[in-house]
Structure formats: structure tokens, C-alpha cells
Structure 1
């Protein structure tokens, strides 16, 4: 039996691609324009097919590096964004963390991981950010658990206080919160110079 490193997302990849809306794309574009240098390298953790987040960033002139553990979603990312680097790896163990980035985004992924893996990933992001680098990720503000509607697996938000405390412990500062048109919450963090 093979291990599903995508935590159920490979099995629902076609359904996910079909229903993924533009929700959040405008917020991520505005964040990048406000916070990052033009043409900066951005790591997209849990990039999916690249639509709409990476596609919007590439359209604005950024270089986007994609990580996703689903072979089908990475294949779609490569088709949608030819020339952009992409790897089929788990977020917490990706080889892309062997370099640094001006920006990192993780939209709709952090809360899909277990609590220890969330902390591991946040630590890896802190190490991969350049000084003054920016990190944007989505998760509910309250600590809570629910079942993902597509995979049926448990999702967990550590909550704003726990995320802020861990970010501080790994050398990042929680800078701001944003909400998109779907009422999804986003955390903004910065790596001090």
C-alpha cells in the first residue's frame, strides 16, 4: 500500500480544480504589491493548480515557486504556469526551503496539517525568508477544528494567539490581519532586518 502524502487531496484534485474560485486572489495581489519588491521570488506553499493565486502573482511580474504534495495538482500548476519552478513534495519537507524568498504565501493549507506539522512549517518559513521578507497565510482567527468538505479530514486552526506566539518564537513578527471577500482570515508576518 502506498502512502498518500497529499493527505487526501490527490483523490479530490479534479473536483478541487473544478470548484476553486477567485476568492482571495485580489487580496494576495494587493498584499504582494503593498509589501514586496517588484519581480520578487515568492514561495507558494500548497499551490494547488496555481489558479488563482500563483497565476495572479505571475501576472503581476513575480516569480512563483510552487509546492504541493498532490501529483495531479502539481501537474496542473506546471501546465498553467510553464517555466515556474514546482515540486511535488510535502510542505513541511520541501527542498525549496534550501533557498530564501522575499515572500511566502500559504493559502488554504496550514490548517490542513496537524498541530506539530503546522509549527514545523512555520519554522521552515521563518528560515526561508530573507531579512524584511513577508509571509501571508490563511487560517481562522479562533482556535477550532472542523472536517474539510472535500477530503473529510480534520482541519485545525491553532488560533491567532498561538500562531502569533509561534511566529515570535521563530523570529517573525505578526504584522497585520486581513479578510477576503469570502470572510477568510489572513495573517501577515515579517522577518525583521
Structure 2
């Protein structure tokens, strides 16, 4: 499977499984403390980029609700259509995050939760470098990434009608990529899921 096939599998998967993954009225769930902490760190209003925004719930919904300007990006047409309906105050783009062209120092924060791990592995460090360039001095990256290296596909994901694909490096590699991009890691945690889990990072572009 080449990288375009992988991207297409993810796109088709979320088109088919959008409602299986998250309902319109879903609560903030385990995102809640992360979003509360992000709110505490941001100026008001802040410009926030939500990469892999899904249907806009809960990240974009929460942030626009407390006065921030959110640009959401997702590869799935269905997810973006839902986000535009569910979060009318946000701006949403149907795009491949790894191919985005955005102006430098445009955002006070970038949020990328459970999304980087759906992107081809070779693209991930390049995207982290671009995220660092999109952040304003002092801006924050909140991201979840792989904890252990793994690549695989799951058929009938979430008991739905489509497959899903992931690929990720191990946590030490992500730590290295964040540092090489010029970001300062201020917190690293583990988010359990099933028999494994993900790494959670807060990283900051140093203030000028």
C-alpha cells in the first residue's frame, strides 16, 4: 500500500464511520481536562488550528464557545460537513494536513489529537516542522501520538462498515522530532487505551 492508498483508506473510513466515531451531542469526554488547560494557556481571543478536527466536537466546539477563532482541517468530507453544521462559528477546510500551505506564525496554538497517527510516517516529522513554523512565538502544540511503534489496519473498525489504518513511531522518536522542530516539550504523559495507549505532549515554540 503506498501513501496515497493509505490516505484514501483513512478518508473513506471516516466518511463511512463518522457517526460511529462520535455523535453530534457527544460530551468532551477525556478531552475535557486538556481543553481546560489549553484555555488557561491561551490569550483571548486566540487563533487555533485543529488538525484532524473531525466533526468539530469536542475541540472546535469548546474553543469557539469560549471566544477563540478556530480553523479546523480534516481529510474527510463527511467530517467537515458535520463540523460546519455543528460549529458554525469555526472555519473548516477539507484538506490533507500534510499538504497544507499556511502562513508562518499564524496561530497561538495547534491541536492535533489522534490524527498524526493516521498520516504516512514519512510525512509526520515534516508536518511537525511545519506546525512549529505556523505557531507564533510562545504558541502551544497539544498532540497525541504513538507510544509504541506500530502500523496496521483494522477491518470493520468500531463494528462499522469500513476499515481504518494507523502508523506511528515510538514515543522517543516523537520526542526527538518535536525537539528537532525547535519546540520545547513542557509535559509528556501516557493516555491508556485498551491494552496499549498513546503519548500526550504539550510543546511550546519558545517566546521571542
TM-score (norm 1): 0.86
- Which piece of structure 1 moves more, 180-189 or 70-79? 180-189
The answer to whether the 8 Å contact 2:64/2:89 transfers is no
Which runs of no fewer than 5 residues in structure 1 stay unpaired?
A: none
Q: CA deviation at 1:37?
A: 1.4
The reply to whether residue 37 of structure 1 matches residue 43 of structure 2 is: yes
Alpha-carbon distance change, 21 to 113 in structure 1, aligned in 2, over 3 angstroms: farther
Aligned to 1:188: 202
- Structure with max Cα Rg: 2
| Distance in structure 1 (CA, Å) of the matches to 2:133 and 2:107 | 10
- Runs of 4+ in structure 1 displaced over 6 angstroms? none
Partner of residue 114, structure 1: 120
- For the Cα contact (< 8 Å) 2:60–2:90, is it kept in 1? no
* 1:6-155 equivalent positions in 2, closer than 5 A: 6=11, 8-18=13-23, 22-95=28-101, 97-99=102-104, 100-148=106-154, 149-150=157-158, 152-155=163-166
Distance 1:8 1:181 in 2: 23
Change in CA separation of 1:23 and 1:179 when aligned onto 2, cut-off 3 Å: farther
Alpha-carbon distance in structure 1 between the residues aligned to 2:30 and 2:198: 8
- Equivalent position SS for 2:146: coil
**Counterpart of 1:130 in 2: which secondary structure?**
strand
How far apart, in 2, do the equivalents of 1:161 and 1:22 lie? 29
Q: TM-score, normalised by structure 2?
A: 0.80
Give, in whole Å, the separation in 2 of the partners of 1:51 and 1:85: 13
| CA shift in 2, pair 1:82/1:181, >3 Å | farther
* Equivalence for 1:163: 174
Q: CA RMSD in A?
A: 2.6
